[in-house]
C-alpha cells in the first residue's frame, strides 16, 4: 500500500475510533466501513491507472526509438495530344509512362525520415530525402534534401503542370540544406532555411548530367549566340542560399485564409570563384471559402551576373533557358466536391493562370492557362487538363522563347498510389 493509501486508511480509523458508541449507531458504523472500502478501492484503481500510463509512456518512448520505415509509392501514366508536334497529332496523341516512384517514411533512432525516389524512361532522380526532429513544442528541424520554403504552400497551382513559377525554380524546389519549420500556432507559421547548394552537389557535383533532376535549378549562363536548349558552356551553380517564408492564418465566414510573404537570397559560383548573386521575393494569398480555393501570388526574381541577361536551367534530362530577371504573377481558382460516380468519390475543378513578364532578355511574355479537373477514386488519382500557353516549357515553348503563337495541349494523367 502506498504512503497516501496508508494515510487515508489511518484517517478513516481515527474517525471511527473517535466516534463514541453513544453517538454512532451500528448502521452508521457499517456505513463508515463501506465508505472506507470504497475509498480503498478507488485508491487502488488510481494507482493502477498511474502505473498503466507510466508503462504506456515508457513503451511509446521505446517505440519512438525503434527503427520503423514504411514504403509506398505510385505509378502514373500520361496521354497527351498537342498542337505543336505534328507527329503527335498524326498519331492521335501519345500514351506513355509518366513516373514510377518509391516513398520512404518512418523513424530511425528518434529521428523522422522522409524520402522519394523517381524513375522516368529517360532518367532517375531523388525528389527529397531528409531526416527531421521535433526539437521544441512547435518547431521541427529538417536536414538533407528538403523543400525550399517559397510562395503558396505546398503548391502555387492545382494542376499536373504546376504553375509558371515551377519552371523558374520557385515552386516545389528541393535543395541540400537545413530547414527550421514552426508549426501553425497562434495563427502564424514560419519556415527558415539555409541551403548549401542544389540537390546534385552544386556547380562541381560528381554527376554525369546536371539536368537529371526533378526540380529546376540554375546550371549555367548564356552568351550571345548560345541556343536556348544547348548544353551550357559556362557552368554556374547556386550556393549559400537563405530562404524564409512567413504565413499568417485567420478564420472567416465559411473558411480560412493565409496571407504570406517569402524571400530568398544566395550566391552564384562558376566552379572557380563567386560569379554573382541572386534573390527572389513574393507575396501570396491562399484562401478557402466553403468548397472554393483561391490562390494569388506576385513576385520577382533576379540573377545578378555582370553582362548576363539569360540563364541556363536544367531539369527532366534537358537544358532550357530563362531570363536572368523577370516578374511573376499567378491567379488560381478551384472548386472541390464529393461525388458518387462509380469508383470516383471526389472531384476538383480548377483554372490556373500564370504569367512571367518584364524579362531582362526582352523576349515576349510567358503565360499558361490550365483548365482541368482532378479525380480521386480510392487508390487512383487522375488529372484531366486542357492547356493554352505561349513560350511555356512542355507546351511547345521556352520561357526564353520569343514566339507569338499560342500552343495547346490536352493531357490526361492517371496514377495508382500504394
In this structure, is residue 60 part of a structural domain?
no
| % of the chain exceeding 70 in pLDDT | 93
pLDDT digit string, tens, across residues 385-400: 999 999 999 999 999 9
Query: What one-character DSSP code corresponds to residue 66?
Result: S
Does position 282 have pLDDT exceeding 90, yes or no? yes
pTM for the complete prediction?
A: 0.85
Q: Are residues 345 and 276 in the same domain?
A: yes
Q: Are residues 47 and 77 in the same domain?
A: no
Q: Are residues 285 and 348 in the same domain?
A: yes
Mean pLDDT, rounded, for 36-50: 86
In this structure, is residue 59 part of a structural domain?
no
Q: Are residues 91 and 145 in the same domain?
A: yes
Which of 27-36, 165-174, 188-197, 262-271 has the weakest average pLDDT? 27-36
pLDDT at residue 173 in the model: 98
Q: For residue 230, how many C-alpha atoms fall within 13 Å in the half-sphere facing its CB?
A: 15
C-alpha cell at 146: 528538403
pLDDT digit string, tens, across residues 4-34: 555 555 555 445 544 454 556 777 778 888 8
CATH number, domain of 181, equals 2.40.160.10
Q: Are residues 31 and 110 in the same domain?
A: no
Q: Are residues 173 and 285 in the same domain?
A: yes
In this structure, is residue 61 part of a structural domain?
no
C-alpha cell at 337: 466536391
Can you give the residue range of the structural domain that contains 12? 3-53
pLDDT at residue 2 in the model: 54
Which of 48-62, 159-173, 184-198, 247-261 has the weakest average pLDDT? 48-62
Q: Are residues 156 and 255 in the same domain?
A: yes
Q: Are residues 159 and 28 in the same domain?
A: no
C-alpha cell at 92: 492521335
pLDDT at residue 23 in the model: 59
**Coil, strand or helix at 139:** strand
In this structure, is residue 251 part of a structural domain?
yes
Mean pLDDT, rounded, for 322-346: 97
Mean pLDDT in the chain? 92
Q: Are residues 134 and 200 in the same domain?
A: yes
Q: Are residues 295 and 166 in the same domain?
A: yes
Mean pLDDT, rounded, for 281-298: 98
pLDDT at residue 126 in the model: 98
Q: For residue 9, how many C-alpha atoms fall within 13 Å in the half-sphere facing its CB?
A: 12
Residue 306 confidence class, pLDDT cut points 50, 70, 90: very high
Q: Are residues 7 and 103 in the same domain?
A: no
pLDDT at residue 301 in the model: 98
pLDDT digit string, tens, across residues 160-177: 999 999 999 999 999 999
Residue 359 confidence class, pLDDT cut points 50, 70, 90: very high
In this structure, is residue 268 part of a structural domain?
yes
Does position 311 have pLDDT exceeding 80, yes or no? yes
In this structure, is residue 314 part of a structural domain?
yes
Q: Within its chain, how far is the Cα of 189 from the centroid?
A: 14
Rg (CA), the chain: 30
Q: Which long-range contacts (CB under 8 A, 24 or more apart) does 373-376 make?
A: 373/347, 373/348, 373/349, 374/158, 374/159, 374/347, 374/348, 374/350, 375/344, 375/346, 375/347, 376/344, 376/345, 376/346, 376/347
Higher-pLDDT residue of 319 and 43 is: 319
Does position 146 have pLDDT exceeding 70, yes or no? yes
Residue 37 confidence class, pLDDT cut points 50, 70, 90: confident
Instruction: Domain count for the chain, please give it.
Output: 2
Amino acid at each position: 500500500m502506498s504512503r497516501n493509501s496508508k494515510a487515508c486508511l489511518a484517517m478513516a480509523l481515527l474517525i471511527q475510533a473517535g466516534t463514541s458508541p453513544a453517538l454512532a449507531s451500528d448502521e452508521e458504523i457499517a456505513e463508515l466501513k463501506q465508505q472506507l472500502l470504497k475509498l480503498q478501492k478507488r485508491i487502488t484503481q488510481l494507482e493502477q491507472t498511474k502505473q498503466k500510463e507510466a508503462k504506456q509512456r515508457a513503451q511509446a518512448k521505446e517505440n519512438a526509438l525503434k527503427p520503423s520505415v514504411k514504403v509506398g509509392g505510385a505509378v502514373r501514366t500520361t496521354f497527351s495530344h498537342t498542337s505543336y508536334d505534328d507527329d503527335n497529332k498524326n498519331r492521335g496523341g501519345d500514351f506513355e509512362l509518366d513516373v514510377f516512384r518509391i516513398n520512404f517514411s518512418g523513424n530511425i533512432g528518434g529521428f523522422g525520415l522522409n524520402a522519394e525516389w523517381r524513375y522516368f524512361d529517360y532518367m532517375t532522380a531523388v525528389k527529397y530525402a531528409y531526416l527531421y526532429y521535433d526539437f521544441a513544442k512547435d518547431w521541427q528541424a529538417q536536414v538533407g534534401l528538403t523543400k525550399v520554403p517559397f510562395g503558396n504552400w505546398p503548391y502555387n497551382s492545382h494542376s499536373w503542370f504546376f504553375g509558371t513559377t515551377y519552371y523558374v525554380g520557385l515552386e516545389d524546389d528541393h535543395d541540400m540544406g537545413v530547414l527550421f519549420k514552426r508549426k501553425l500556432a497562434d495563427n502564424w507559421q514560419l519556415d527558415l532555411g539555409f541551403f548549401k547548394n542544389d540537390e546534385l552537389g552544386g556547380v562541381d557535383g560528381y554527376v554525369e548530367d546536371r539536368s537529371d533532376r526533378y526540380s529546376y535549378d540554375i546550371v549555367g549562363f548564356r552568351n550571345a549566340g548560345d541556343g536556348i536548349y544547348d548544353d551550357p558552356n559556362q557552368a554556374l551553380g547556386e550556393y549559400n542560399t537563405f530562404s524564409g517564408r512567413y504565413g499568417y492564418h485567420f478564420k472567416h465566414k465559411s473558411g480560412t485564409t493565409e496571407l504570406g510573404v517569402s524571400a530568398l537570397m544566395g550566391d552564384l559560383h562558376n566552379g572557380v570563384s563567386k560569379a554573382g548573386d541572386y534573390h527572389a521575393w513574393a507575396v501570396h494569398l491562399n484562401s478557402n471559402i466553403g468548397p472554393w480555393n483561391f490562390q494569388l501570388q506576385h513576385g520577382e526574381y533576379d540573377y545578378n551576373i555582370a553582362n548576363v541577361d539569360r540563364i541556363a536551367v536544367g531539369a527532366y534530362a534537358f537544358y532550357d533557358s530563362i531570363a536572368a530577371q523577370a516578374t511573376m504573377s499567378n491567379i488560381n481558382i478551384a472548386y472541390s466536391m464529393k461525388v458518387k460516380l462509380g469508383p470516383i468519390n471526389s472531384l476538383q475543378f480548377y483554372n490556373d493562370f500564370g504569367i512571367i513578364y518584364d524579362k531582362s532578355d526582352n523576349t515576349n511574355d510567358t503565360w499558361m492557362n490550365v483548365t482541368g479537373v482532378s479525380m480521386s477514386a480510392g487508390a487512383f488519382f487522375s488529372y484531366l487538363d486542357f492547356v493554352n500557353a505561349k513560350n511555356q516549357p512542355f507546351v511547345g515553348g521556352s520561357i526564353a522563347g520569343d514566339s507569338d503563337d499560342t500552343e495547346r495541349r490536352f493531357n490526361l494523367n492517371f496514377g495508382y498510389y500504394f
